[in-house]
Structure 1
Amino acid sequence: MQKTNRLPLDMVYHWEATKANSVYLTQPVGDGKVVEYTWARAVDEARRVASYLKSLNLPENSRIGLISKNCAHWIMTDWAVWMAGHISVPLYPTLNADTVNYVLNHAECEVLFVGKLDDWDMMKPGVPDSVRCISFPLSPPNDFETWDDIVAKYPPLEEKVQRDPDELATIVYTSGSTGKPKGVMLSFRNMAFAAEGAMEVLHVGPDERMLSYLPLAHVFERTFVELASLYAGFHLFFAESLDTFVEDMKRAQPTLFLSVPRLWVKFQQGVLHKLPQKKLDTLLKIPVVNKLIKKKILKGLGLDKVKLAGSGSAPLANDVLDWYRNLGLELLEGYGMSENFAYSHINKPGRTRTGYVGESMPGVETKISPDGEILIKSPATMVGYYKDEEKTRQAFTDDGFLKTGDRGEIDEMGRLKITGRMKEIFKTSKGKYIAPAPIENRLMTHQSIEMVCVSGANQTQPFAMIQLAEGIRPKVSDGGVRKELEESFTKLVENVNKTVDPHEQLAFAVIVTDDWTIENNFLTPTMKLKRDVVEDAYESKVNEWYAQHKKVIWQ
């Protein structure tokens, strides 16, 4: 099924010709004001920036970095990079300087677009002096060349650039098991196949409205927001900030809305704070009041116009899914990875099953390996990992299926259930990958620690479980020693959190009093910690620990 779909730039030129004066992007610029970009204006600015990039005489397929929160210029930069014959390399707008430096050096980026950022001062030291930087209108203060000056100075690139389907379109950096990000190489064919398949499944058209606020550096937003809007031709709105989110929602009145588990839970908690569950249940049982209450709640959340709501990036608790469905909002979960451009599985309206992530999307083959691993194959699957042939080889089976690293099972209707992880790496509820080993290694520098296990799958932030060194354990009954240890571990957590990316920062450390030994099955015969055994042993206590809001907890 290797047909050549319409490529992203084909769609850019299509809407430029057919919807030139229709508004495509609505960008808040502060104080309640917005700037609107028609298709004609957006494509014209992209063409001008492409001219500028061409004038730099970079080698073909040069990697161009892009670090910014979501905004209209993020989308236009992607187009400009492609028009100029290059490859876009998005960076998360929350990375620390070390990770920024690693990505820019590994990808050999010669140019970096710098946009809306909350902590540019933290990231700036990671940008090599050799990298030419360009500033978006909403970027922090800097002395870089500006987007507006480039647009004013350079003529639009007149040609309709055609890229080869198998050329690289983007390199998406995602956490690896070593903690160093891996560069997932995605071609124009990968992108096009995923976009057209998503259109086929979701049945969306040019009259939709969508709010873009989850990071565009993540494939979930890239596929189902950037590419979906480009292929369907619908109106895309951007959020200004968390503080203005309610106003941004009211402005957009989205008909499609995607979020991650953490936000769906926050929305739910906000409702239940005003209307406790017991009272809500009572009101929903009254026939006349039932519909009014549901409508009022959804309107308060800005979701009353939504016809299709989705959750992705990490699993959503079954009771939260059921809560929204009881309000008449059928939340559809999906499943995907950076390595397949988030194009894998999705629940279909009327065919959902709680706890399952849905059926294979068009053109996706799914099977379960003999040891329970979910294996995926489709034309949306990555070309490989940038500069890493060995990891690329390891990522695929001999017959070309992508090894997802997740365990799963498939029901009689072809719906997939994720039952666990093949590897230690885990995802938070924000959809971010955590490699526990590097964090554990940092914690193990403390002389009072014998063993440590970093966990937190599907939680907002990871946490650490610590077993004290054998000589320290008998002394913790002494109040003075205990207090001293608590202060020391509090400082340790703070110091470790300064060295990792925001999504890797520990919420707390738990001092466990159980012995982790070979005899009680916590350790292998070679004294390695059995992570799954440790996690299972304390699973029932995890929510209680988070609820304590302490940096150090004694268990």
Structure 2
Amino acid sequence: MPDSQTSNQTRIPPLTDLSADVPFDPPVRSTGHMLRNRVAMTPGHRAYSFPVVDSTGEETWKTLTWGQVGAQASEVAAGLISLDVQPEDRVTIACTTRYEWALADYGIVYAAAATVTVYPTTLAEDVCFIIDDSDSRVVFVEDAGQLAKLSGLRDRIPKVHTVVVLDDTVPADADASWVISMEELRRRGRDRLSTHPGEIDARIDSTDLDDLATLIYTSGTTGRPKGVLLPHRVLVFEVLTLDGTLHRSSPDEMITIDDKQFLWLPLSHVMGKLLLMTPVHIGFETAIDGRVERIVENLPVVRPTFMGSAPRIFEKAYNGVVTKMAEDPGPFGIREKLFHWAGRVGTAVFEADHGDGSTTASRWVRLQARLADRLVFATVRERFGGRIRYFISGSAALNADVSRWFGATGMIILEAYGMTESGGGSCLGTPGGYRTGVIGRPLDGMEVRIADDGEILFRGAGVMDGYHNNPEATAEALDADGWMHTGDIGELDTDGYIRVTGRKKELFKTSNGKYVAPALIEAEFKGLCPVASNLVVIGEGRPYVSALVALDPDALTAWAQRTGVSGDYSRIAADPRTQAMVQGYVDELNGTLNRWEQIKTFRILPRDLTVEDAELTPSLKLRRAPVEAHFAELVEANYD
């Protein structure tokens, strides 16, 4: 049977009988076992494509089959074994999202070692802590830049005996006793494979579900990173329950070997790690390129059928389309008017079909929506490659209006909910069971309940073993009955859907005694204001709620050109016309809020928030404490 055909011969049948009452006992015992199965089942099927620069300086996309990936992973694994890496030894990867990250991880999997992840933007102090705390002995770094960063820390990470440079750019003055290239590691691996031909299989066969697969340090919005211990059980469970849940919802909703993923998410993040392992189970091709600035440009080239993302990318894409319409409205504004008409009728139908049942759409509106699809949304879909079946959004709240708009275009966004501590996924909205404003139902095999104080709790095979070297934090997160405390406040309706209403630690009380959940307000604003990058809601112990507003540089520049405002970002942000524009959107936001939640004052920041300044996590979550510290004067100015 050709590899391109989907059948049970190209995958382990989906586990549709996962239950919290039945012990998890899958047919595969580790992620290494899963990868070996994939290579054996579909060696000739395309596994990865990624950008490379050819001899003429042009960028092209190179492809590799599963057979080629498996052979390369074996070389990396054998190379690691030649460095005396033992089962469950920690091996760190510090690299942006690229094929070499995946290859290093698969090599670690084959060697039965455990992957430790480090964001390349991580501050030096935290890099030292992660490498030392994890007891890592080998570190993969992306390039000479990352190597220089690590070399400066060498005296503080004495356990590390080898550093491997993934892109092979080893400086001539590098210490050859400490630094080798990826090609050198693979050469050593090839030599070892020739003398120890059954070693990789033996490593895989000796690995079981409860052995450590990965140690992911939470990027954290506050405090020192915590190392989350994820055994193979968690990753195998997550992949199989995702597949089984989609199969149970409808076989037509399953991801198959004929799908194609575009993967740009940081692989040091648990969602990226999950999306790295899902193709190993199912066998589809992954186009991988972590350059965030190239996402929109890559989509029509890659033509994926699905993509996982943080909400900010969807919000930015939506605001980009709105901005483009305003820049080029067409003769008499017809193009812009047509766009907004399509949005109104399309979202009306989408909400009627996927909402809570409180709205309906007449035959006339549905007829208009079909026309809008041909005239407007077909073109929008082509800009995303023309083949998207659905997107998956996670890591933060997604604005409901943005979600409805994408649904109206025919590119539904499934909201996923999970944490590093739960392997990346605990809940998922499915296409057939989609509802706006909720995070779906728990994945098969995950138990959920709401505690007396409103906190969402989970229990199941997808829950971590605990925090590395941190029994106090483990005891706080996992109770005696195995329930994981998420720290999120939510509601569970009679149909099993979960709605997150706030973050327990972020919930604050004004001096008037009123509680405010800032995340939902912030998500709402980013959908309303097309030039917004972030909103930071403030008010703990204060007489009223205020905010800091960060604007998207590209959208702000385009707006300024249309409006006649000149200057760089900081000058445009300080212009009274910008203040008036933002005030209009704040007023619109306030109209949807309770009186005590309304934003009384705000300040526009002189620059956008960045990962480099530790104001955003690498997965683009807001870090409140650094933002408030960096802009303390503006915070106080809100209360003068």
State TM-score, norm by structure 2: 0.66
Report what 2:405 is aligned to. 323
Letter in 2 for 1:47: S
Whether 1:183 and 2:227 are equivalent positions in the alignment is yes
Identify which of 293, 300, 304 aligns with 2:383: 300
8 A Cα contact 1:283 1:290, kept in partner = yes
Report what 2:9 is aligned to. none
Report what 1:148 is aligned to. 183
8 A Cα contact 1:28 1:34, kept in partner = yes
Output one character per residue of 1:22-69: Cα deviation in whole Å (capped at 9) or x when no partner: 221112123312332221221112111211211222454211100111
Query: What SS is found at the alignment partner of 1:342?
Result: coil
The CA deviation at 1:245 is 2.9
Whether 1:231 and 2:231 are equivalent positions in the alignment is no
Q: How does 1:415-454 map to 2 (within 5 A)?
A: 415-424=497-506
Query: What SS is found at the alignment partner of 1:181?
Result: coil
Query: What SS is found at the alignment partner of 2:298?
Result: helix
Greater shift, 544-553 or 200-209, is seen at 544-553
Distance 1:461 1:205, change over 3 A: same
Output one character per residue of 1:488-534: Cα deviation in whole Å (capped at 9) or x when no partner: xxxxxxxxxxxxxxxxxxx9xxxxxxxxxxxxxxxxxxxxxxxxxxx
Q: How does 1:163-242 map to 2 (within 5 A)?
A: 163-175=207-219, 179-202=223-246, 203-223=254-274, 225-239=275-289, 241-242=291-292
8 A Cα contact 1:65 1:104, kept in partner = yes
Distance 1:243 1:397, change over 3 A: closer
Identify which of 165, 190, 197 aligns with 1:135: 165
Report what 2:32 is aligned to. 9
Structure with the largest fraction of helix: 2
8 A Cα contact 1:97 1:125, kept in partner = no
8 A Cα contact 2:50 2:63, kept in partner = yes
Output one character per residue of 1:147-187: Cα deviation in whole Å (capped at 9) or x when no partner: 11222333235442221111010001014576100000001
Identify which of 47, 60, 77 aligns with 1:50: 77
The CA deviation at 1:355 is 1.4
**Matched-pair identity in %:** 26
Query: What SS is found at the alignment partner of 1:244?
Result: helix
8 A Cα contact 1:54 1:84, kept in partner = yes
The CA deviation at 1:395 is 0.9
The CA deviation at 1:541 is 5.3
8 A Cα contact 1:82 1:169, kept in partner = yes
The CA deviation at 1:129 is 5.4
Report what 1:497 is aligned to. none
Gaps of 5+ in 2: 1-21, 247-253, 327-335, 346-367, 509-517, 527-532, 541-569, 571-593, 610-630
Letter in 1 for 2:487: G
Identify which of 411, 414, 436 aligns with 2:493: 411
CA distance in 2, matches of 1:169, 1:298: 38
Q: How does 1:151-162 map to 2 (within 5 A)?
A: 151-155=186-190, 156=193, 158=198, 159-160=200-201, 161-162=204-205
Greater shift, 352-361 or 54-63, is seen at 54-63
In the alignment of these two chains, the number of paired residues is 463
The CA deviation at 1:189 is 0.9
Identify which of 111, 119, 128 aligns with 1:84: 111
CA distance in 2, matches of 1:140, 1:463: 42
Query: What SS is found at the alignment partner of 2:416?
Result: strand
Identify which of 461, 476, 480 aligns with 1:394: 476
Letter in 2 for 1:88: T
The CA deviation at 1:542 is 7.6
8 A Cα contact 1:63 1:110, kept in partner = yes
State TM-score, norm by structure 1: 0.76
Whether 1:359 and 2:409 are equivalent positions in the alignment is no
Report what 1:40 is aligned to. 67
The CA deviation at 1:466 is 10
Distance 1:35 1:137, change over 3 A: farther
Query: What SS is found at the alignment partner of 1:343?
Result: coil
